[in-house]
Structure 1
Amino acid sequence: MHSRPKPDGIQLKTPDEIEAMRVAGQQAASVLAMLREHVRPGITTGELDAIAHAYIVDELNGIPAPLNYRGFPKSICTSVNHVVCHGIPGDRVLKDGDIVNIDVTVIQDGWHGDTSKMFYVGEPSIKARRICEVAHQAMVIGIEAVRPGVTLGDIGHLIQRYVEGQRCSVVREYCGHGIGRVFHEPPQVLHYGRPGDGVVLEPGMTFTIEPMVNLGKPGTRLLADGWTVLTRDRSLSAQWEHTMAVIDDGVDVLTRLPDDPL
């Protein structure tokens, strides 16, 4: 049996295909776990990329999905402080007090696993710690709402209501996405919305939830490199991401390592 497309282009995965995606998802999660000890003051984002690339290719026999994806030049994304997403690893030296999102996507046997976490470099400020915690809780609230019959608008609304209740803001221009054999497939998973709007979830759907949360206003701007996204007001931004499958009785988080909290 193979996944079957719905009229809206969403690919419903079979149980066997979800298990294949779990392998890729667990591998992506293992990259983030491996990198934790390396995220420290003095290391460059380019060095983190090189470590991750070697691990994915040599240890996991996988493919780093971002590398050469639409021209992206590196194997992971490293988004520091007021970088919202898609930061390109390079010469930037991480300093004590920085926060960095590391976004990893591994392809294994043709299937994608996509996940990201925030890391503290040394000791974060109170504001930095707070934006990371709010973004994490926003993702958890979204994931815990996933089950058949719920709409994507329901999920976006819950995330938005929580974030704005914390006097932070949800980035509008970038969102979660369907995933499987294709890195980004339908549906778009917005982290804001109205209850009842959008696609109704059903078993076999696989997608990411990855709210980008700003300490200031939601506006962003894109740098000339065509990838790096900054907060327009230079406020701190944070993001967490998991890949998941909708199952009969709720949600199965494919990028969650055993015994890991969400």
Structure 2
Amino acid sequence: MRLTSEQETLELKPWTRAEFENALRQQHRRYHHLHPFHQRMNAGELTPEEVRLWAINRFYYQRSIPLKDAAILSNCPDREVRREWIQRIIDHDGQVAGSGGIEAWLRLGESVGLSREQLLNDRHVLPGVRYAVDAYVNFCKTKPWIESIASSLTELFGPDAIRDRLVALEQYYPWIDPSGFEYFRVRLHQAPQDARYALNLVLEHCRTVESQQKAVQALIFKCDLLWSQLEAIDRGDTRPGLGS
């Protein structure tokens, strides 16, 4: 389903719940699993340097996820939603030191030959990646909370992509310590649960033509952002010092 102009929006009726969900799910065609970089990763064609460049730049996104979720919470007046959504911050930051998704990604970085200092020091982050990630955090700070939640619906498309990536990493990259893949294994269970909750919120709260259009646009924005990150990584140099 195509997005409409402002004038057309005034003349249309809202989608039914099923039509709206379909419009959101159709955006899987924009998801970054189709990017040539991920296609090469899944085919076992990346060099160790390329894997390290991906891991260190993707970490900048991973460490920013709790920031965008905190921004959503700060804009959300619904206490029940806040009670549920705060779990996402806990999932990434962990309840205690040594737990959580950020810690798991640090271990992934170590498994591909990076040090924690390299991952935590932003000097290896490519400008295009930094710009895209910072734009996402700013989006969630400045947009209505339900639009920000709609942007998170890339999680609808994530599990299949993660499953393919995990198979490829285990099959084609034996030099990577498999203990570093725990992040992906956890997300295979977390992501579908998170996506179902977010999807139901969006379907419930976006019932006008305008709000439905904005929700789809938010999801497209997020897909474009993820694609832009990979564009930067695919074109980026290997940044000397990312491992042997």
Structure-1-length-normalised TM-score: 0.27
| RCO higher in structure (CA 8 A, sep ≥6) | 2
Q: Which has the larger radius of gyration?
A: 2
Richer in helix (by share): 2
Structure-2-length-normalised TM-score: 0.29
